[in-house]
Amino acid sequence: SSEVALIKGICTLLAQKELLDFIKKYVPTESKIDWSQPKPELSLRKFIGTGMHLARPHPPLAVALLYAKGDYLQYVLPSLNAILYNISATNIADNLPKLLNTPVSLQQHGIRAAFF
């Protein structure tokens, strides 16, 4: 769809500071998706979560974790896995407590990253 192409383009072309500002602007406030919210806003949140890993350099893990909650976790998993796969061992050690202090649905990905 056109929203997917738009988000892919934004994630690929924006400088890191502008991209982080854009990503943070649409961080979900609730863990449950409110299906009554306007479709463009809902689509933006879902596609940002799915496509933020396309940015170079990757957004910080802390930014991806802002989207990794509740119903939005399924959309951010591709980005989260890509960021975890490419993160340095030192950063994993620094971020492991953040990953382990999350719901079990997200903890398993942190544990896998720690022992990968």
- What is the domain partition of the chain in residue ranges? 2-114
Tokens of 34: 């409110």
In this predicted model, what pLDDT tens digit does every residue of 66-102 receive, in sequence order? 999 999 999 999 999 999 889 888 888 888 888 888 8
In this predicted model, what pLDDT tens digit does every residue of 37-67 receive, in sequence order? 999 999 999 999 999 999 999 999 999 999 9
Angstrom distances, CA of residue 70 to CA of 36, 48, 83, 86: 17, 16, 19, 24
Under DSSP, the state recorded for 3 is H
Under DSSP, the state recorded for 35 is T
Helices marked H in 14-38 — which ranges?
A: 16-25
User: What is the pTM (predicted TM-score) of this model?
Assistant: 0.87
Q: How many CA atoms lie within 13 A of 44 on its CB side?
A: 13
